[in-house]
Amino acid sequence: MYAQERHQIILEILNKKQSVSVRELCSLLNTSATTIRNDLSILEKKDLLDRTHGGAINVFRSGFERITSDKVVKHKKEKEAIGKFASTLVQDGDVIAVDTSTTTIELIKNLRDKERLTIVTNDLVIATMVEHFPHVVLMFIGGIIRKGYNCAVGPQAIEALSDIWVDKAFIACNGFTVQYGISTPNSDMAQYKKKLIENSSQAIVLCDSSKIGHSSFIKVASIDELDHVVTDAEISKESYEEIEATGLRIDIAH
């Protein structure tokens, strides 16, 4: 059996079982533990599964979310490209809201020299960065700190958003499908993102291609509630055409 065939079978098993052991895969695929471990390592590098002691788990199960420190190393080049492209959508004098994520951090890195810009965020890392930007006003949205994720959430955060309106909201997500829209595993984060979208003139989703075609636990918004999505060059032709056919503006960052 070719490696590509084994990889497809492994992913199909994980879609059904959510987790699988090396021993099970050896038996099912009639191959050695060394080969299976190599297969799992290759699939993990592609962010198609997570390795565990003695096996692997499905990274696309609906309630799963990596902590921020784990997200930083995933799809770094793609996130950098998305952040750089997204920065071209920000004009001097804009008031923007920036969601918490490792991709939106890449956007922030490209905004240092903007003039008369106001940035609204609930992300502690982003707030620390923006504090040192010479011509940018920072509005930090406080609330309950979500440990491991560097952000504030909860009723206080939602209330703080209620009295503001922004030109553009840059939204992150854990899942993106045409049928279900954008989604995330955490209820507090879902409510915060919903409010950002409601209180913005433009809702712009920054989403690396690994999330496209997958849904997470809680729906945030339908496609028709969004204005724009920026993704990376790894998106499949089929996914690109499916999104474009909805009328949602889609740009690919290179």
Residue 85 has pLDDT above 70, yes or no: yes
**Three-class SS state of 235:** coil
Amino acid 53: pLDDT: 86
What is the total residue count of the chain?
254
Amino acid 61: pLDDT: 59
pLDDT in tens, 33-45: 999 999 998 888 7
The answer to whether 207 and 250 have CB atoms below 8 angstroms apart is no
Share of the chain above pLDDT 90, in %: 73
Determine the Cα–Cα distance for residues 163 and 159; give it in Å rounded to an integer: 8
Residues 146 and 120 reside in one and the same domain: yes
Q: What CATH number corresponds to the domain at position 9?
A: 1.10.10.10
pLDDT in tens, 22-77: 999 999 999 999 999 999 988 887 667 888 889 998 876 555 555 554 555 578 89
64 domain residue, yes or no: no
pLDDT in tens, 106-119: 999 999 999 999 99
Q: What is the CA radius of gyration of the chain?
A: 19
> In which domain, by residue range, is 211 found?
69-253
Amino acid 68: pLDDT: 55
32-36 contact pairs (CB < 8 A, 24+): 35/6, 36/6
- One-character DSSP codes across 86-147: HHTT--TT-EEEE-SSHHHHHHHHT-TT-SSEEEEE-BHHHHHHHTT-TTEEEEE--SEEET
Determine the Cα–Cα distance for residues 195 and 62; give it in Å rounded to an integer: 22
Mean pLDDT computed over every residue of the chain: 91
Lowest mean pLDDT among 9-23, 77-91, 185-199: 9-23
Determine the Cα–Cα distance for residues 169 and 94; give it in Å rounded to an integer: 11
Amino acid 172: pLDDT: 97
* Amino acid sitting at position 64: F
Residues 120 and 235 reside in one and the same domain: yes
Residues 172 and 226 reside in one and the same domain: yes
Residue 138 has pLDDT above 80, yes or no: yes
CA angle 190/157/164 to nearest 5° reads 100
The pTM of this model reads 0.77
| Number of domains the chain contains | 2
Residues 131 and 38 reside in one and the same domain: no
Among 203, 141, 143, CA closest to 173: 203
Residues 45 and 130 reside in one and the same domain: no
DSSP state of 149: T
Q: What CATH number corresponds to the domain at position 86?
A: 3.40.50.10470
Determine the Cα–Cα distance for residues 242 and 249; give it in Å rounded to an integer: 12
Residues 126 and 172 reside in one and the same domain: yes
